[in-house]
Amino acid sequence: MRFLLMRSLLVHPCGGSIINVRSTTTSAQYVASRSRDPVFEKLMDKYKNLLKVIAIQDLTLANPTADPPSLSIEFLSRLSQKLHLNRGAASFLRKYPHIFHVLYDPVKAEPFCRLTDVAMEISRQEALAITATLSLVVDRLVRLLSMSISKSIPLRAVFKVWRELGLPDDFEDSVISKNPHLFNLSDGHESNTHILELVQEEEKRLEFEAAVEKWRVVECSKEDCSVDRTEIQFSFKHSYPPGMRLSKTFKAKVKEWQRLPYVGPYEDMVGKKKSRSGVMGIEKRAVAIAHEFLNLTVEKMVEVEKISHFRKCFGIDLNIRDLFLDHPGMFYVSTKGKRHTVFLREAYERGRLIDPNPVYDARRKLLDLVLLGRHAALSESGNTSMSEQE
C-alpha cells in the first residue's frame, strides 16, 4: 500500500496540522513524528512493565534447583540492563509485592526472590488454559507453516513467538513430537539449527480460510455493512483513532487499494506475473500475511522484531515495520518500553480484546497485579479488575 500512502494526507484536527504519511522520511522518523493513538499507547504503557515481570517470572519458574522455584537477586542484577530494570533488580521486585517475595537465604548469605501464591496460581491457570486448548495450538502452528513458501520455518523463529502463539513452554515435546503426522524436525544448513517442516501428505490436503474471509462473510450479512458489498472480496477492515480526519485523497487511495486483487496467505504464489498490478498485489499479499499472523496470536499483538524473523519464510521482500506503518487503518505500532509492538486494530476495543480467550484472560490477571503495584489487594467484593477500570 506504500504506493498510495506515500502520496496521501492525514489531517488531524488538533492544531490543524497536515501530516505527510511516509513521504521521504525513514520509518524511524515517521514512528517518532506520527499521530499517536492514545488508547493503544495507554495499553502499551501498562504492558511495558508486565513484559518485564513475565521475563522474571519465566526465569524463576525455569530454575530446576529450587522448590518452590526461586531466583538469586545477584543473578537477576546481572541481567538488569538486558531486562531494562533501570533502578536495579531489587528495586523493581519490591514494586510488585503481589507478584514477588524478596527473601534472604542465611545459608548462601544472599537475597533471592520467588513468586507469591497468587502469581503462582495465575501461572498455573495460564498453563491449564494452554493445555485445554492444545488442538488450537496445533492448528496455529500448522497455519504458520502453511503460510511459508517452503512450508517450513527455522525452529529458532518459532521460539521467538512461542508465548505469542500460546504454545506450551515444552512445545517441542508436547506439540511437535506428539504430532509426527503433522510436523517434522530436520537439521538446518547451519550447525546446531533445526527446521520445522509441515509433513507433505498433510500439506496436500490442507485448505485454510484466513480470518479476514470470516469477517467478510459476517460483514456482508449486516444491514449496515461498512464496505461496498460489490468490492468486499478483497477488502480488509479499517478503523482510525477518534478525532482523526482523513483527506479525500487518502480515502480514494484506500478505496482503490481495497479493490486490488491479491493472492491469499495460504495460496500458492507460483506462476504469478510480475506486472505493475502484480507487484502491488504482492505487497497486498504481504499485508494479508501480517494480518493473518496477528490473528494467530493470543493477544493480537507482537513485537515487530519478532515477526521480522519470518519475513523470508513468507516471501516478504518489504521491511515489516514499514508495512505496518503504511497501513494505519489496520495496524498500530507503539514504541513504548524500548520496543516496537504492533497491534491488530480491529481486534481491540477500548484497550481490550473484543473476543478474549482463556490464555488472554489469565494474562490479564497478571496485568491486574502489575497495575496494583504496592497498593493493597483487590477486595473480594470488588470484582472489577483494575485493567477494566482504567
How much is the pLDDT for 367?
Answer: 95
Q: In angstroms, rounded to a whole number, what is the distance separating the alpha carbons of residues 302 and 208?
A: 22
Claim to verify: residue 93 and residue 226 sit in the same structural domain: no
Claim to verify: residue 148 and residue 277 sit in the same structural domain: yes
Residues 6+ apart with CB under 8 A from 342: 294, 301, 302, 303, 304, 307, 324, 331, 332, 333, 334
How much is the pLDDT for 241?
Answer: 79
Q: Which three cell numbers stand for residue 129?
A: 488454559
Q: Which domain holds residue 68?
A: 41-115
Q: In angstroms, rounded to a whole number, what is the distance separating the alpha carbons of residues 323 and 284?
A: 10
Cell 525513514 sits on residue: 26
**CA angle in degrees (0–180, nearest 5) for 172-175-178:** 100
The pLDDT tens digits along the chain (390 residues) read 443 443 333 444 333 322 334 444 455 555 555 668 989 999 999 999 999 999 999 999 988 777 889 999 999 999 999 998 988 999 999 999 999 999 988 777 889 999 999 999 999 999 999 999 999 999 999 999 999 999 999 999 999 999 999 999 999 999 999 999 999 999 877 777 899 999 976 666 678 999 999 999 888 877 776 666 667 889 999 998 777 778 889 889 999 999 999 999 999 876 555 555 567 888 999 999 999 999 999 999 999 999 999 999 999 999 999 999 999 999 999 988 778 999 999 999 999 999 999 999 999 999 999 999 888 654 443 444 445 444
In a domain, 289, yes or no: yes
Claim to verify: residue 147 and residue 262 sit in the same structural domain: yes
Claim to verify: residue 80 and residue 146 sit in the same structural domain: no
Cell 492444545 sits on residue: 134
In a domain, 341, yes or no: yes
How much is the pLDDT for 106?
Answer: 79
Claim to verify: residue 330 and residue 206 sit in the same structural domain: yes
Task: Give the total number of structural domains in the chain.
Answer: 2
In a domain, 355, yes or no: yes
Q: Order of strands across the sheet with 341-344?
A: 301-303, 341-344, 331-334
Claim to verify: residue 106 and residue 243 sit in the same structural domain: no
CA distances from 181 to 22, 147, 153, 156, 188 (A): 46, 18, 17, 21, 20
How much is the pLDDT for 313?
Answer: 94
How much is the pLDDT for 14?
Answer: 37
How much is the pLDDT for 244?
Answer: 75
Claim to verify: residue 60 and residue 191 sit in the same structural domain: no
